[in-house]
Amino acid sequence: MKRVQQIQFTRSQANARRGVITPLAAIVLLVVMTGIALIVNRLWLDAASLEVTTCVETAALAAGHELVSDELLKEKPDFNVLMERAESTANQALKLNTVAGHRIGINLTKGDNLLFGKLVPNEETGLRKFLETDHEPESIQIKTHNSSRLANPVADFMADLTRTNLGRTGAQIEATLDNHVIGVRPFENVPVPAYPLAILKNDPTGKHTETWELQINQKRGKDKYRFDPETKTVSRGSDGIPEIILTGKPRRGEITDANLQLLDFGSDLKSEPIVRQILSGLTRNDLKHFHGELLFNGTPLPVHCSPDIEYAEQDAFQDMVGQCRICFLYEQVTASSQKYDGTADCTNLVAGRIMAVQRADNQTTEIILQPAVITTRTVILAKPETDPPADQSKSDPKQTADTAKPVSNKYIYKLYLTR
């Protein structure tokens, strides 16, 4: 009897113990699961934040590309049109990119979370700060701090429980355009979007009237073609931007009779590599002889050249009608002893769009080219302007390239993230 009572007492103790341990185990399990949930939530937020930043950066860069176009070359550019295109393109970029498998859930609106302006020097810090303005904007700022929660159940529960903004991700991104260009440099797998083509800048002798200075800068060229940025097509009609007619060397003519030159960037002026460069641009290997870059810092860059355009090159130019590419300007050309080639002194970079290609009766190729605006990250920008000492500026009127004010290039821009 005593043994039975002892056994019953032991069972009662065990049951009591079990009744105490079960809630403790549940509490410990709850704490552990909460800790795991918070760790997972933190990892999710970090990943989502990175995706949001990437998404907004894409939108800012897409908008920046629209902010500079051929519209800037017209006598009275309509910046409202450019900003409307930038706003539309930025929203489209957000729709095409997702965060945690969902759209970012915001709509960019000019003046609200999509701002246009410029970067101006901050006198206190010496750094540049964003200044909102609609007057010839050069920078874009996108704010997405109030984006919606992105289907994170842990964050949703904690946010509802604590009435906070847990689970909301956002970013503030700035993209800026800079056209203080002094050269170009290709990357490992990113060629410079340039033709191996040089255009006569001016002719003091008066022999040529089809020069960049007269036809484009002084707007004496005819305006017979237009480019539609929506359809990416060329058609007959006026658009307010004059063209220049580029002509190769005529039959039995001299090298100086042409107002264009094909440049030898590692091609030895052979058709196959020239055609590749026309279609694909200039690579590091092409510029090996020039140390991988082309710089224009006030000194002419001599380049081996030829004014003869064969049928293969003509067909390649024809295939590029409507495409915007960087071109070169030369001021003079010196014929070699063979007379069919020479050296062109290149002095500057411009950008143009081929509108038409045809063969003249004298068997020379004529290219109708319209100036255009291009953005590329292969651009080399000038160093920030620095003021020379007062006594130096008085004693030496010739400033070096580092101290001289960088000249802007209205045809070529570099677009990059500034924040």
CA-to-CA distance for 11 and 288, rounded, in angstroms? 90
Structure tokens at 104: 């970012």
Asked if 159 and 134 touch (Cβ cutoff 8 Å), the reply is: no
For residue 213, pLDDT over 60 is answered with yes
pLDDT tens column, 339-392: 789 999 999 999 999 999 998 876 789 999 999 999 999 999 998 654 444 444
Residue (of 406, 411, 418) closest to 372 by Cα position: 411
In DSSP terms, which residues pair with 177 in a beta bridge?
415
For residue 263, the surrounding DSSP H or E stretch is: strand 260-263
Least confident of 46-55, 110-119, 193-202, 209-218: 46-55
Give the pLDDT score at 396. Answer: 45
Highest-pLDDT range among 1-10, 169-178, 189-198, 395-404: 189-198
Query: 401-411 b/e with 16+ CB inside 10 Å = b?
Result: eeeeebeebeb
Q: What is the mean pLDDT of the chain?
A: 82
Structure tokens at 67: 């902010």
Give the model's confidence band at 205: pLDDT under 50 very low, under 70 low, under 90 confident, else very high: confident
CA-to-CA distance for 132 and 116, rounded, in angstroms? 6
Structure tokens at 416: 């990059």
Give the model's confidence band at 337: pLDDT under 50 very low, under 70 low, under 90 confident, else very high: confident
Residue (of 405, 338, 410, 323) closest to 370 by Cα position: 323
Which one-letter DSSP state was computed for residue 291? Answer: T
CA-to-CA distance for 408 and 405, rounded, in angstroms? 9
pTM for this model (two decimals): 0.78
In DSSP terms, which residues pair with 352 in a beta bridge?
325, 371
CA-to-CA distance for 355 and 169, rounded, in angstroms? 46
Average pLDDT over residues 266-281: 96
CA-to-CA distance for 403 and 384, rounded, in angstroms? 9
pLDDT tens column, 294-324: 999 889 999 999 999 999 999 999 999 999 9
- Please give the share of the chain, as a percent, with pLDDT higher than 90: 53
For residue 116, the surrounding DSSP H or E stretch is: strand 114-121
Give the pLDDT score at 148. Answer: 47
Asked if 53 and 83 touch (Cβ cutoff 8 Å), the reply is: no
